[in-house]
Structure 1
Amino acid sequence: MQIDIYNPDHYTGGIPHEQFAWLRANAPVYWHEHPDGGGYWVLSRHAEVVAVSRDFKTFSAQQGFVMVDDMPPDILTMAQSQLLGMDPPHHGPIRRAVISRFTSRMLAALEPRVRQIARAVIDAAPCGEVINFVDDLAGELPTAVICSLLDIPEAMWPQIRRWSDLQTSGTDPDLGGTPEEVNQASVAMGTYGYELAAERKGRGGDDLITLLIDQEVEGRTVSELEFASLFVQLTVAGNETTRSLISSGMHELLQRPSLYRQLQEHPAGLPAAIEEMLRWTCPLHYFRRTATCDTTIAGQRIAEGDRVVMLYSSANFDESVFSNPLEFDISRDPNPHLAFGHGIHLCLGANLARLEARVFFEEFFRRFGPGIESVGAPVFIRSNLIHGFKQMPVRVSEAV
């Protein structure tokens, strides 16, 4: 089989399941050529992705960051200040500082605010008109939630989404821009985060920026520069993952009306359904690690400095882990998907994303009931990194 899972064009029809299945069966540790020269190892099975995720000493997130493409030195330095691009010992203290703001108790206290935002977003949807579910519904909630948590002025919310899209979907002609524009977006977003941190440090506010910038990490407070990189990660992840989860999850339900009705009538089933939406839609196709020494993976020799790509959207359909993986099963249990990664770099906002998705569907069912119809095929983002729609035309109508 001809294998090319780098080309973004091969993702415009969704996950390239045929190629991924061939890799799992025939070459689970596969050397893939890179168009700029050299290459990288692709891990397609669940077991190897988990093993590399856990072994942060041998497989570094920091050396080359998490994207398969090497970055310009100035952008790489800034990216390495993000939590997802840090290795221990620097990673742990800052992660603990952030995760302390996303405990189960704090998320429970946050739920009324998330529900208020969700109701406002859903109630604003025009009835009877064709709308883009991605932008008009699924994308509005996570932007509003993360920006509210950070107390970002509402006038800046569209700019936050634009910066986020540029950094995650730069290979899509409708969403991205030139490499220079993408780099400029990263710098501009980090600069804005730095300015907010400097403005609020020591002011005693209760927004997430103030709580993080004033928190002690190993006897010192987080610096404005450290927070700038953290700000980029929080805002980008807070937008992208949840938008893809909600829109792709809704699409799968619309393709299966009986499942839609089941969840509408019994919303207690939403938590398990959302786990299956995560497995099925997997908002990120991959993240990269860099080998810190000569090693082996599943018997394959890996050289120090080699790039190793963990293919989450293949691991989530591994036949040795998931029975009938190509069946969308909203009661699947167990469901050890890797949509949020694994190990020390497990997504910080995983439970916030789950909360937002659950509340969104509860409120959507309340407002519209069965009153939603697909009026055209969705269009995927052209990206080998982001798995999600950029267009999903639907029409909503009042619940009877």
Structure 2
Amino acid sequence: MTTAKPDIYSPDLYIAGPPHELFTELRRIRPVFWQDMPGEPGYWAVLKHADVEYVSQHPELFSAESGGVVLEDMEESRLAALRGTLLAMDPPRHRAYRKPLVKSFTAKVVGGMEGRIREICREIFARLPEDGAVEFVHDVTSSLPTQVIGELMGLPPEDWNHLHRLAERTTSQQDPEVGGTEGDGYGPGAAAREMVGYAIGFAAKRRAEEPREDLTSLILESEFGGKMMTDADFGSFFMQLVTAGNDTTKTMLAAGLHALLTHPEQLAAVRADPSLVPGAVEEVLRWANPLHYFRRTATQDVELRGVRIKAGDKVAMYYTSANRDEEVFEDAQSFDIFRRPNPHLSFGFAEHFCLGVHIARLEGRVFFEELLATFPRIELTGEPRRVRSNLNNALASLPAYLGR
């Protein structure tokens, strides 16, 4: 550690990859670490696995709803829209909104989607260039989650790509090449507002039609906390479901190929034995988790590892650090598809454990089974580029060769 105060907030720090050495040192000396922010109050970074679990387990002490889930304080209109998502609801409201959807996301129900997901993967691979040259992030990985969430929600296929782009812009606002700028109409919050507006119009259209067997009809016909959703409620809810279903899954798939290609002995092992794919997906999720953190806001004075956190303070649960906590994971910095057990926190924990966990795992498993079966030769053809973001742990591009 240098004498200069560490900075784990700056988005520029993450362009070359997560600062794992810095996280390792901070876990040792300051596992609950105060980080300043430019132009607004800083936050407490929670870096240990057990402490991230603790914050997750105590929404009465650490609220998602009070200040939202990102470090930057939002204007009230944006925060109000965010509070309409499961991601930023506290109990009991969170439970009331989650309960009607749980049956649609069980392992048994999701398992019935495997055949269709396999078909989609094969269709994607069949459309790729004959010469094998691809930009893997957008030519390959984007299409699967876009189509899966589109079919689940009953969205018009002609809108899928646009909605995927809005999801990508929403999670990557710190990178102007990905998230857009004021100049092109996509300043802070613009993509999210556009998606909410789309969803409000979509809800109104669907209410005028006969119900279908899809997630949209289920949401529009269900009671949440004793009342039906308005079109505006649906807009906020839709934004989270589509964004989570699109962008984080794309991130997982691209990170997974990069991890395997940079660990060729483990790629060879997975090729030789496809039963290793589920374990490989879990290790990708641990080693290259799609999101670095989520924020909470302290509702009262509380102490964590001897640090006094005041009511109103921001608190960030750093999954990127917790997933490499040496007290939980042996040889924590190594990528190891044989790791058992693997209690990573990439799907969250406790109240906010990811509703779509079974879909994400199924998409990951089927995608890599089909990718490795279809392309006996896969190589990197250039340097990957990362998204400039302290939130989104993603590759912006991954040049590759897929040889049939």
TM-score range, shorter chain: over 0.9
1:181 shift after superposition: 2.6
Q: Secondary structure at the match of 1:181?
A: coil
Q: Does residue 133 in structure 1 map to residue 136 in structure 2? A: yes
1:50 shift after superposition: 0.5
Of 259, 268, 273, 1:261 maps to 268
Q: Does residue 112 in structure 1 map to residue 118 in structure 2? A: no
Q: Does residue 397 in structure 1 map to residue 400 in structure 2? A: no
Q: Does residue 55 in structure 1 map to residue 58 in structure 2? A: yes
Q: Is the 8 A contact 2:93 2:225 kept in 1?
A: no
Cα distance in 2 for residues equivalent to 1:129 and 1:331: 30
> Which residue of the partner structure matches residue 4 of structure 1?
7
Letter in 2 for 1:223: T
Of 379, 384, 390, 2:390 maps to 384
1:38 shift after superposition: 2.4
> Which residue of the partner structure matches residue 142 of structure 1?
145
Of 344, 352, 375, 2:351 maps to 344
User: What residue ranges of structure 1 are gaps of 5+ in the alignment?
Assistant: none
1:24-48 CA deviation, whole Å, 9 max, x = no partner? 0110111111101321100111111
The 5-angstrom pairing of residues 1-400 of structure 1 reads 1=2, 2-178=5-181, 181-201=187-207, 203-368=210-375, 370-398=376-404
Q: Secondary structure at the match of 2:177?
A: coil
Cα distance in 2 for residues equivalent to 1:155 and 1:254: 34
1:203 shift after superposition: 2.5
1:217 shift after superposition: 3.2
Task: State the aligned residue count.
Answer: 397
Cα distance in 1 for residues equivalent to 2:401 and 2:59: 46
Letter in 1 for 2:67: G
Q: Secondary structure at the match of 2:245?
A: helix
Cα distance in 1 for residues equivalent to 2:225 and 2:143: 37
Q: Is the 8 A contact 1:132 1:394 kept in 2?
A: yes
Cα distance in 1 for residues equivalent to 2:82 and 2:45: 22
1:309-346 CA deviation, whole Å, 9 max, x = no partner? 01000000001110001111101111110111111111
Letter in 1 for 2:299: T
Q: Is the 8 A contact 1:248 1:389 kept in 2?
A: yes
Q: Secondary structure at the match of 1:41?
A: strand
User: What residue ranges of structure 2 are gaps of 5+ in the alignment?
Assistant: none
1:219 shift after superposition: 4.3
Identical columns (%): 41
Q: Is the 8 A contact 1:151 1:208 kept in 2?
A: yes
1:109-150 CA deviation, whole Å, 9 max, x = no partner? 111111111111112111324211000111111111111111
TM-score by length of 1: 0.96
Cα distance in 1 for residues equivalent to 2:221 and 2:115: 26
Q: Is the 8 A contact 1:127 1:396 kept in 2?
A: no
TM-score by length of 2: 0.95
Q: Kindly report the root-mean-square deviation, in angstroms, between the aligned alpha carbons of the 2 structures.
A: 1.4
Q: Secondary structure at the match of 1:100?
A: helix
Q: Secondary structure at the match of 2:321?
A: helix
Letter in 1 for 2:270: L
Q: Is the 8 A contact 1:133 1:394 kept in 2?
A: yes
Cα distance in 1 for residues equivalent to 2:118 and 2:374: 13
